[in-house]
Amino acid sequence: MRSRAAIVRQAGDAWSIEDFELDPPRTGEVLIQMAAAGLCHSDDHIRNNFMAPPGAPKTRPPTIGGHEGSGVVVEVGPGVTALAQGDHVVTSFVAVCGHCRWCSSGMEYLCDKGAGVLVPGMPTDGTFRHHTLDGADLGHTSKIGAFAEHTVVAADSLVKIDPDIPMVPAALLSCAVPTGYGSAVHRGNVRGGDTVVVIGAGGIGTAAIQGARINGATTIVAVDPLENKRKSASDFGATHTAVWAADATDLVRDLTRGVMADCVVVSPSDITGDDVRDALALTRKGGTCVLTGMAPAGPLPMHLDIQDLVLMNKTLCGTVFGSCNPRSEIPMLASMYTAGQLHLDEMITRRYRLDEINTAFDDLLRGELVRGVIDFGIA
């Protein structure tokens, strides 16, 4: 079949809206019609080869963008039994095989199949379903390709949701919300009465703020250089704000009578060594500093006070997908949205048509959006 998508042909190019050819789903695969796709800094990083590891090929096939989305099942391939035509689904850039060591021990977010997320081709057999009109293979970001009107993905990369949940806000359950929520709740172990600092108040940071609020944190400090992000953070549960992490040190010391923060979530679009240093300075004895934002592949220079890290018993850790299990926690987060605990509609700053995607990314990179969404207009 023929469909339309936002494609990047070479690293650093603008998005090009083009028709493309899409093969039917094969064994273990599903054809979906996209309803909405969130705009994530990771898509821009991938577009610019920011995340390519050292030594990776300098060239790659033209690629359909997008990994955060929601859609409706159009057709299922052989062997797919958990999904059927008409089902509403959320994409998961972390595929879940259900059988590897990590899945079987309750850590789906570390699934061996999901680990190949940046390798072109289908996770089922390594071949391609998406093609340019002249027959060349098309990659699809994170094995999803959410910036397309239709896409074929592995069933392992889809999570069924209740059809009563609106499709546009549901797209945020695909990446931003579980990543941020889980950074605070799972990796940061936020509990009632805690003090939490969230550095970077975009989509993921906003979800971390909500996770901290929902799980009982009484003091939540949002750090962001942009005034609009600081104001927005207060709407989602931040009790205090600061412009820079270094500026927050005295504030957090005063708020905690010198104890400092139980949990610090570091979620800017591009983590630097200075961010890590400043975040650890905000972290209390025995506290946890969670690195959630992305950094370039390869070594990152930083200056750490190792003695402080060791003697103060601090934990510095990373997280992927907020250490959430997609199959169980996407539906859980959806139920929290339905119950009014988790605010998704309010996170969507602006909706765009697919043809407006370059404008949308300009707005994102200027810091105007908490979350922007491509609305395909089917729901």
pLDDT computed for residue 299 by the predictor:
77
Q: What superfamily does domain 2-160+344-375 belong to in CATH?
A: Medium-chain alcohol dehydrogenases, catalytic domain (3.90.180.10)
Mean pLDDT across 193-207: 97
Mean pLDDT of the chain: 93
Q: What superfamily does domain 180-320 belong to in CATH?
A: NAD(P)-binding Rossmann-like Domain (3.40.50.720)
In one-letter notation, the amino acid at residue 322 is G
Tens digit of each residue's pLDDT (9 = 90 or more) over 109-161: 999 887 777 788 898 999 999 999 999 999 999 999 999 999 999 999 999 99
Phi, psi at 319, each rounded to 5°:
-155, 145
Q: In b/e form, how buried is each residue of 262-299, taking b as 16+ CB within 10 angstroms?
A: bbbbbbbbebbeebbebbbbbbbeebbbbbbbbbbbee
Mean pLDDT across 2-24: 94
Q: Is the pLDDT of residue 52 over 70?
A: no
**Helix (H/G/I), strand (E/B), else coil: 159:** strand
pLDDT computed for residue 152 by the predictor:
98
Q: pTM value?
A: 0.94
Q: What percent of the chain has pLDDT over 90?
A: 82
Domain boundaries, the chain: 2-160+344-375, 180-320
pLDDT computed for residue 61 by the predictor:
80
- CB atoms under 10 Å from CB of 100, counted, come to 17
Q: Is there a shared CATH topology between the 2-160+344-375 domain and the 180-320 domain? A: no
Torsion, Cα of 147, 150, 151, 152 (10° steps):
170
| CA–CA distance, 324 with 81 (Å, rounded to integer) | 24
Q: Is the pLDDT of residue 297 over 80?
A: no
Mean pLDDT across 222-246: 97
pLDDT computed for residue 327 by the predictor:
94
